[in-house]
């Protein structure tokens, strides 16, 4: 059963921020409610008051401004899936959005809610980490931006203060010669939390070379290109979504030959701090991490 709470319905962002400031720490935002409502039913928390931020006009929309893709703090996962700017500049986010829950949940669930909820398995986190996203936080006092890599503090803990709202997620447009992929293993194909999820991104030193090379009958990349910068982000393998820094270093300045990919995948598995739980053992998660990172790197040039 749902506990009793007061529900506040602001009409503007300013009203919402005022309400949160007055009620903090006993008030909490609710957007799609796809985490909040099950958590209230399950007794995870009992806020005296919920401030409904769904549909606030200032939090809507996805736009491009000054080299940044801006995803409003109220944008749903379904909207991300349909958006042409996301398809063009952040297809890895789209790839992850497609694996989150089911169409029904995606119609309500917001990207900001996924990040603010701070589950270690949040599917929006790895793609946004490899895209160097920033979280824009607003309060009655003003606005600040936090790189997503510094946003998560622990399981369901972030740097967001109770009176702050995520008003936008800001993604610098990746360079032209950048490719990224997202892979997820879960116990089912839909409506399933990740056992492990992973996003990888490689920015190439040169334009696409004209010569494809195949090794062991498989294609791993394009000739003439060196990895200038790499990002590897992992979910459900530590208390927060993480970057695998050592694995990234192992790719930089290299052609993505099979042995380079294998070494990076091993280092990514070593970066994990996995636990046993109902979805998988720690050892299985480590193994899956290595396989997912390898597949993602090998799959950089295949279609999402
Ligand atoms: C059946 C089911 C399947 C699911 N499957 C997946 C899955 O596969 N992958 C996955 O990652 N998640 C999954 N989820 C979890 C959930 O759908 C996502 O985390 C979703 O993105 C949360 O967004 P929301 O808008 O519903 O957040 P809410 O439930 O409204 O809020 C979640 C948290 O974020 C805070 N919050 C919301 N909006 C803001 C804001 N603008 N600023 C600051 N704080 C805010 C709330 O206070 C709360 O702490 C699933 C949930 C269900 C019910």
Over residues 131-162, the pLDDT tens digits come to 999 999 999 999 999 999 999 999 999 999 99
What are the structural domains of the chain? 6-52 (3.30.43.10), 57-172 (3.30.465.10), 179-301 (3.30.390.50)
Q: Ligand 1 centroid to 64 CA: how many Å?
A: 24
Confidence (pTM): 0.95
- Whether the bond into 25 is cis, omega within 30 of 0: yes
Question: What residues contact 103, with CB distance under 8 A and at least 6 apart?
Answer: 78
Q: Ligand 1 centroid to 248 CA: how many Å?
A: 29
What are the helix (H) ranges across the chain?
Answer: 13-23, 36-42, 77-82, 84-89, 91-97, 103-106, 111-117, 125-130, 245-251, 258-270, 282-298
d(CA 295, CA 60): 35
pLDDT digits (tens, 9 = 90+) for 26-57: 999 999 999 999 999 999 999 999 999 999 99
- Average pLDDT over all residues of the chain: 93
Q: Which of 266-270, 272-276, 296-300 has the highest mean pLDDT?
A: 266-270
d(CA 168, CA 72): 4
Average confidence (pLDDT) over 212-217: 42
Q: Ligand 1 centroid to 236 CA: how many Å?
A: 16
Residue of 35, 75, 121, 125 to test ligand 1 pocket, by largest number of atoms within 8 Å of CB: 35
Higher pLDDT, 252 or 205: 252
Structure confidence at residue 206 (pLDDT) = 64
Beta-bridged to residue 201, according to DSSP, are 180, 231
Q: How many CB atoms lie within 10 A of CB 117?
A: 18
Structure confidence at residue 210 (pLDDT) = 35
Weakest mean pLDDT among 231-240, 258-267, 271-280: 271-280
Structure confidence at residue 268 (pLDDT) = 98
Cα distances (Å, whole numbers) of residue 43 to 2, 38, 219: 9, 9, 50
Q: How many residues does the chain have?
A: 304
Give nearest CA residue, ligand 1 atom 48. 117
Q: How many CB atoms lie within 10 A of CB 278?
A: 6
Q: What percent of the chain has pLDDT over 90?
A: 86
The set of protein residues with a Cβ atom below 6 angstroms from ligand 1 is: 28-36, 38, 53, 73, 77, 100-101, 105, 108-110, 112-114, 116-117, 122-123, 160, 165-166, 191-193
N-to-C CA span, the chain: 41
């Amino acid at each position: 059963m749902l506990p009793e709470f007061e529900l506040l319905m602001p009409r503007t962002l300013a009203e919402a921020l005022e309400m949160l400031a007055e009620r903090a720490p006993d008030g909490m935002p609710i957007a799609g409610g796809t985490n909040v409502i099950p958590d209230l039913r399950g007794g995870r928390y009992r806020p005296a008051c919920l401030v409904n931020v769904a549909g606030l006009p200032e939090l809507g929309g996805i736009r491009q401004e000054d080299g940044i893709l801006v995803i409003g703090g109220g944008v749903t996962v379904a909207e991300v899936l349909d958006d042409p700017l996301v398809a063009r500049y952040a297809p890895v986010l789209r790839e992850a959005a497609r694996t989150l829950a089911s169409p029904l949940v995606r119609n309500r669930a917001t990207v900001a809610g996924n990040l603010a909820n701070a589950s270690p398995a949040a599917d929006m986190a790895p793609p946004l980490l490899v895209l160097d996203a920033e979280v824009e936080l607003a309060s009655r006092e003003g606005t600040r931006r936090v790189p997503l890599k510094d946003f998560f503090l622990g399981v369901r803990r972030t740097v967001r203060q109770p009176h702050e709202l995520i008003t936008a997620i800001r993604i610098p447009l990746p360079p032209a010669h950048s490719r990224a992929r997202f892979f997820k293993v879960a116990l089912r194909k839909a409506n399933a939390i990740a056992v492990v999820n992973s996003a990888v991104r490689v920015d190439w030193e040169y334009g696409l070379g004209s010569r494809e090379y195949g090794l062991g009958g498989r294609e791993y990349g394009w000739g003439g290109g060196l990895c200038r910068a790499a990002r590897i982000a992992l979910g459900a393998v530590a208390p927060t979504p993480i970057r695998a820094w050592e694995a990234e270093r192992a790719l930089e300045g290299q052609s993505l030959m099979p042995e380079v990919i294998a070494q990076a995948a091993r280092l990514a598995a070593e970066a994990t701090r996995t636990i046993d739980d109902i979805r998988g053992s720690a050892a299985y998660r480590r193994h899956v991490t290595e396989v997912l990172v390898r597949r993602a790197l090998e799959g950089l040039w295949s279609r999402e």
